[in-house]
Structure 1
Amino acid sequence: MRITTLLTVLVGMIFLSSAAAAPRAEYKIVTASKTGTYIQIGNDLAKWVADPAGIDLEVLESKGSAENVQRMRFEPGVKLALVQSDVYQAFLDEAKAGNADAGNIIRPLRLIMPLYDEEIYFVARADSPLESIHEIKNKKISVGPLGSGTALTARTLYQLMFEEPISAANAQYLTNEDALVKLTVDKTIDVAIIVAGQPAKLFADMKPEARKFIKILKLDESAPESARAKKTYFPAAIRATSYPTWLTADTPTLTVKAYLVTYDYGLQSTVGNLARFAESLCTNFDKLQANGHPKWKQVKLELPALSQGWRYYGPMEKRLRACIAGQRSLNTPTPTSTKTQAPTRNCTEQEVVLGICKS
């Protein structure tokens, strides 16, 4: 083992062990509903990352990404959040367009690292004539709760596919559970759009009889509406192995990226705690993949270049890059080089969904 590699490992061990001597920090992470994937990811981070770093991390439920951005910015104790990429970008776009509230919320936020792709489920009744995603135009749709990432995703996708916004008369802002009731019992909506990384508890807990009541609409790659959607979202599949009790075949769909987010903290104690969290995230990454939610197996321990306006949190980025480089050195027999990648008015519907309406 080279001297520089050994020093990197030792420094990391000393850095983490110092957490045991210091008082444990009490932080919070905002996730999503109790039946979604985000809350399971939050529990994994609390157990396998925060605890070894000397942090008691409380995992909080929420409506989803749009609410998480605001709670990350303003709620005391919330130091971490899980946020969809399109929601983060929507806030940046609103800020760039001159929305002062959006700018005040998003500009101080920083990324820690990208996580995984979340599947987008278009759920219809089993007896519905609808078969493909591009057939949902002018249908009554549950787009997710106000303040949720799902609502933003659903509206953005609809706009992309049909080049017009979903009408207020056809959009219902329901929780996942309420949407399934309205879909299958009341039959007052035609489609429920749900965003969740597979396997999602909401669907994994369903019994085989579920296929008598609901089905997943598929992505038709040949449809022009699909081509327009793929300008922002990415094709993937909802695997039958994720839901073996009620899916009999893989279903093509679209995905959106999930990110772990924090704030541009300057208080030294917070900077130190979050740096330890980053070190622990790197050194315990194998435990996350071995013991955590299956989605961790899709996460790569890397910090790719970001789009304009997106920024990593410097202290955590520095610690992560050093740890990642050290681990690569341990697994590489010969030296390798690594590159560092660098006034009152009526609110728009977009602002209402993002939760930044003040009319």
Structure 2
Amino acid sequence: MRISAIGIVAGILLALQVPAASAAAEFKIVTASERGTYIQIGRDIAKLVAPEANIALEVLPSAGSAENVRRLRYEPGVKFAMVQSDVYQAFLDQAQEGNVAAARMLHPLRVIMPLYNEEIYFITRADTPAEFIHEIKDAKINVGPVGSGTALSATTLYRLMFGKPIAEGNTSYLSNEDALVKLLTEKTLDVVVVVAGQPAKLLTDMKPEARQFIKLLKLDPNHSTTRAALRTYFPATVRAANYPNVLTEDVSGIAVKAFLVTYNYTRPETIRYLTRFAGSLCRNFPRLRAEGHPKWNEVELSLPALGKGWSYFPPMEQHLRACPELTATSPAVEQKQCTQQEKILGLCE
């Protein structure tokens, strides 16, 4: 009888433990290439933020931001996406011009928070006479795979600078690695455009002799074509300390903003997981900075005003605005005047 009673009690205790040991929600985040910064940021989120929200977050590579918008909208299980601001804006512009497909994809997307600037690198051969980005007019340019954020950034920048698209005969859509081979061995390309937050693995993995073969083109902030580009993008500094095998000194460059994006979910269970995620993001933000990719040190846990047509996901916004790290700085964020860079990117009302 005593043994039976013990068995019954053990069974009751085991039953009581089931809710606490419930399986984690299986969500996905789409990022970018295996060698880029987005995927490393995604892995940091999966490791340091998702578990506390009882989310098993699978980090998926992708062709980039444009593909991520589509996958977030239509692929089952994808609840988060990394998206460049110019890609988001491009979909918004297309929607406002009457493109039904763009409107359908973009309308339910919501911003969780801005992240950091991603540098845009213009790589050319070391013996190329060109020194500046504005000298790439009519060059043979690899813009990255179709559907990638890199391709959109490269083509948008070119159009802003020169008032016309890159000629189709001068455009290629190869991966970064394949394009660099053609740049250096076949010499059928003049420029390879890469978008990645520094330190970018593609460049940090290069050997010491790399600077004998490649160089990065610089930004001339005073050139007329540059001023046109800076209506949408940010000036940046590519630091030699991040790429000692490529650079001997810092190089002036240009960058685009990265955002963490989700969907306007209405299912109560999904909303509960996402609000838990927001709470975990708040609590673990110091760990992201201490243990994650160096780019986390450029991220501010703030929710600035977004451009027209953009909006935050309200349940997550509510939790993030209650975060002590945000509320400690929110008066300054709300009261300060917009910087020129914020105006350029459309982050001011």
Provide the TM-score with structure 2 as the length reference.
0.88
SS of the residue corresponding to residue 221 of structure 1 reads coil
4+ runs deviating over 4 angstroms: 19-22, 336-341
Task: State the secondary structure of the residue aligned to 1:90.
Answer: helix
Structure 1 residues 204 and 161: CA distance shift in structure 2, 3 A: same
Task: Tell me the residue number matched to 2:175.
Answer: 175
Matched, 1:300 2:300: yes
CA separation of 1:75 and 1:213: change in aligned 2, threshold 3 A: same
Provide Cα deviations, 1:36-81, integer angstroms capped at 9, x if missing partner.
0000000000011001211110000000000000000000100000
Displacement of 1:120 in angstroms is 0.4
In structure 2, the residue matched to 1:91 is: 91
User: How large is the RMSD of aligned CA atoms in angstroms?
Assistant: 1.9
> Any conservation in 2 of the 1:91–1:103 contact (CA below 8 Å)?
yes
- Residue 267 in 1 paired to residue 273 in 2? no
Q: Please state if 1:38 is matched with 2:42.
A: no
Q: Aligned with 2:49: secondary structure?
A: helix
Distance 1:54 1:157, change over 3 A: same
Listed as ranges, the gaps of 5+ residues in structure 2 are 1-18, 337-349
Aligned with 2:257: secondary structure? strand
Superposed CA deviations along residues 193-246 of structure 1, whole A, max 9, x for unmatched, are 110000011111111111111100000122111111111111111100111233
Equivalent residue, structure 2, for 1:12 = none
Per the alignment, residue 194 of structure 1 pairs with 194
Amino acid of the structure 1 residue aligned with 2:302: E
- What secondary structure is seen at the aligned counterpart in 2 of 1:158? helix
CA drift of 1:325 comes to 6.5
The answer to whether the 8 Å contact 1:302/1:324 transfers is no
Q: Is the 8 A contact 2:282 2:325 kept in 1?
A: no
> 2:126, 2:232 → 1: CA distance?
29
Instruction: Determine the C-alpha separation between the residues in 2 that align with 1:69 and 1:327.
Output: 30
Aligned-pair CA distance for 1:338 = 8.7
Contact kept, 8 Å, 2:302 with 2:326, in 1: the verdict is no
Counterpart of 1:320 in 2: which secondary structure? helix
Give SS of 1:284's match.
helix
| Structure 1, gaps ≥5 residues long | 1-18, 342-359
- Mapped partners of 1:325, 1:53: distance in 2: 19
1:116-154 deviations in whole A, cap 9, x for unaligned?
Answer: 000000000011111100000000000111000011101
Q: Percent identity?
A: 60
What does 1:121-200 correspond to in 2, within 5 Å?
Answer: 121-200=121-200
Q: Does 1:255 align with 2:255?
A: yes
Give yes or no for contact 1:301–1:324 (8 Å, CA) kept in 2: no
SS at match of 2:209: helix
Asked if structure 1 preserves the Cα contact closer than 8 Å seen for 2:28 and 2:57, the reply is yes
C-alpha distance in 2 between matches for 1:163 and 1:155: 11
Q: Which residue does 2:220 correspond to in 1?
A: 220
Residues 119 and 256 in structure 2, CA contact (< 8 A), matched pair in contact too: yes
Written as runs of structure 1 = structure 2, the 5 A alignment for 1:225-240 is 225-240=225-240
1:203 matched residue in structure 2: 203
Q: Distance in 2 between matches of 1:291 and 1:260?
A: 19
